[in-house]
Structure 1
């Protein structure tokens, strides 16, 4: 029997896809997520630790916060299977995701399988033939810094959750949970709710008018000033419901209706016309948070629905890895996007040079933004024939955002007009109207944020 290289990924779907790419010289299987974790209950605590005060947490708080790891019962069969596959292999490739969790899974596999063959860390950002073969040829070592970062987060999750949750059960109600992220988030929500409860509402009125020009054209305008004093709007009130400035005029309903009657039919004239050039730049390619936000706005997808569809798109080779805080595109992706822009919309829609976007402080620079996979992006209509409805809609959104990010600015003109006139009782009023004319749509041909 000829020994083969064993490649381990997280999910069966990825294993199937990568197995087809690598061929018969490789065996590709999955860990089915994490194969080792802190004990979930008393039954999983190793016997030698059961007498320790800290045992229930699975973290030795008396010895440098050392974690106690166990293989859960539901993962033991998979571990046995992987050990058997490893015995018949001459090389092990750990090909879990390119992030903290993926690096930790790879490290736990090493700790549990204890391989006696050569081990390589294989990382990729997309599941395409070129990306997988390149990852294979350029495999390296585990990043211990990422492993320790994930381990620290996991320990914090356990310590905060196990210490604070029982307090909630006693003080609020049973079965509530606390956590490293959710507890501060709840505090923010509570603070905002207290502000809302304390807020004192106030009412104000304004006047909208429809003007007719000598050429019988109609346009809308809003009352801005009376006797050179600005009309009060919502932003002029403080949290106690009082006006923050005495330089504004507050109209109640009776005063607004009275002024409306005394302005109707009066002659008005344009006193000022202000024209300014308008430029709008495209948004950066998606990272995880912006994808979730835009999918909610545009598609009405919840975060979990978005990430579930994105996971399937990634595992089947349609998009790059979907958990990223980077807005960077690779050179090949920039070329693919610019070629598609030129082909679909014309060279006038291309900026002189590829666009680059700043990445947030602390972002994992090794990652790319979320984009269509490959060196040539598949059209949404083609992908829609291969995936379900949610995946097709999300792919189209990702494709549009990626393409638009490499297109020229939208250009146009902003127009602001002031129209003045007097009421029948002699009060000077000014109305304002504004508009925007797009002279060159630029990236808006492809995408406008939802």
Structure 2
């Protein structure tokens, strides 16, 4: 009996999922993206450039005027801004991914169905779309040639190209996979229940999400190719400009210019340190006043008295569970982890870590999210944990619900433990120090989010 093929991005994720799916499925990893823009050209249809990616060249008037006309006739057609395929990217198989794709094609050919189980975001959707393309249209895409960075030493040797014999063999074996048997499945956490729910309702690749990722990638390439050369010429060779950092740098520069243009104005505040004969000293502040010298002179020898004492109860509501940005901020403030380090550790916790006899277990939900939504199952579980572990006086009558920002994707959940009952100390012996600290931070934040306010 043929098995169904499941394709994920990483071997660690494949190992965890394979444990839950059983013998009817074969799980393989694409090891990240399989297609991207070309390395040596911009790979995007830009207005004003010739068909085929060549830039428009201005002809100089010379003696041979007739020759210039001849050259104009031979020049390719220029791409118009009204072109239907304007900004369309040219995708190629990433160098070195040919063997991985061939292995996936062989496995897909003998499978009943192919399930693309990439991460539930734009990048995961794009990877799934590209996998569907290289499986269903194998002859359409070529593999990039291995190359060495332009900033590396000349002595550096490029990777050895794939042997021609192997290429010939792979071409003979390539068979297009029927697109009707390719499906997309997503889940926010790698647990048996979430995976079963995803495979019960497979869908097609979401073209809107793919377009969103593609637009971002195209912007990255345009900014990088057009602005980076200016940096090399004006600042320093080797610098690169990015879609985000270029805009962020402008905001910083504009803010710095405002700071430098600011004209400071002198102002004073008056603080009176009062002694009632017994400690501690009491500080009184005068906020709104005019004529500082006169006020100081008149009150320095005056008798002071407390007119009234007001006592107020201050309540501090628990914070919501983590979104990606809040997790990065908290990890830096409390653990001094960079954003990159935090996301790398969170990726490992999401994909699964070895927990002794249990095998590979995913400890947190998907870590790229802007939502504070929590599933009902997770709420029920954490509300059982709080009175059992901390006491019933910490548990509110009803669950705490938090409002996400306006454009948040509520289909995603907040970053939380997949099992609230799995306390940090229960898994400490299986995790290295950094993984443990981050898991502890996520677990504590989630549990605290469902407690009563502090008074």
Smaller-chain TM-score bracket: 0.7 to 0.9
Whether 2:119 is the aligned partner of 1:120: answer no
For the residue of structure 2 that corresponds to 1:275, the secondary structure is coil
Corresponding position of 2:338? 302
Give the number of aligned pairs. 376
Change in CA separation of 1:191 and 1:346 when aligned onto 2, cut-off 3 Å: same
Distance (Å, rounded) in 2 between the aligned partners of 1:175 and 1:300? 29
For structure 2, which runs of at least 5 residues remain unmatched after alignment? 45-49, 57-78, 137-176, 353-361
Q: Quick one: distance in 1 between partners of 2:103 and 2:280?
A: 76
Q: Aligned with 1:271: secondary structure?
A: coil
Residues 170-190 of structure 1 show CA distances to partners (whole Å, capped at 9, x for unaligned) of 333332222221111111111
Contact 2:275–2:282 (8 Å) recurs in 1: no
Distance 2:373 2:340 in 1: 24
Alpha-carbon offset, residue 400 of structure 1? 1.2
Counterpart-to-counterpart distance in 2, 1:111 and 1:303: 33
- By how many angstroms is 1:308 displaced? 1.0
The answer to whether the aligner puts 1:390 opposite 2:434 as a matched pair is yes
2:379 corresponds to 1:334: yes
Instruction: Give SS of 1:365's match.
Output: coil
Question: d(CA) in 2 for partners of 1:96 and 1:4?
Answer: 19
- Alpha-carbon distance between aligned partners in 2 of 1:410 and 1:195, rounded to the nearest angstrom: 40
Matched position secondary structure for 1:280:
coil
2:86 alignment partner, SS class = coil
- 1:161–1:331 distance in 2 versus 1, CA, 3 Å: same
8 Å Cα contact 2:271/2:285 also seen in 1: no
Q: Does the aligned pair in 2 maintain the 1:54–1:60 contact within 8 Å?
A: no
- 1:78-134 Cα distance to aligned partner (Å, 9 max, x none): 111111221221111100000111011100000001122612211111112222222
1:273 aligns with 2:304: no
1:209-252 per-position Cα deviation (integer Å, ceiling 9, x unaligned): 665545x342442x423xxxx37xxxxxxxxxxxxxxx44568x
Match of 2:358 in 1: none
Q: Which of 210, 220, 224 is the aligned partner of 1:157?
A: 220
Q: Give the C-alpha shift of residue 268 in structure 1.
A: 3.5
Mark the runs of 5 or more structure 1 residues left unpaired by the alignment: 232-246, 412-450
Deviations 1:404-439 (A, max 9, x none): 11111222xxxxxxxxxxxxxxxxxxxxxxxxxxxx
Q: Give the structure with the higher percent strand.
A: 1
Alpha-carbon separation, structure 1, partners of 2:291 and 2:378 = 55
Sort the Cα spacing of 1:211 and 1:165 in 2 relative to 1 into closer, same or farther, 3 A: same
1:22 to 2:66 alignment: no
2-structure distance, mates of 1:249, 1:309: 58
Alignment of 1:229-240 (within 5 A): 230=287
Does residue 218 in structure 1 map to residue 218 in structure 2?
Answer: no
1:95 to 102, 117, 123: 117
1:76 matched residue in structure 2: 98
| Partners of 2:257 and 2:41 in 1: CA distance | 40
Counterparts of 2:224 and 2:80, CA distance in 1 = 15
TM-score w.r.t. length of structure 2: 0.75
Q: Which secondary structure state, in structure 2, belongs to the residue aligned with residue 305 of structure 1?
A: helix
Q: How does 1:173-212 map to 2 (within 5 A)?
A: 173-199=236-262, 211-212=274-275
Q: Which whole-Å deviations, capped at 9, do the CAs of 1:132-184 have from their partners, x for residues lacking one?
A: 22222222222221111111211122222222222333333332222221111
Alignment of 1:405-420 (within 5 A): 405-411=449-455
Q: What is residue 364 of structure 1 aligned with on the other side? A: 409
- Residue matched to 1:36: 35
Structure 2 residue 347 is the aligned partner of structure 1 residue 346: no
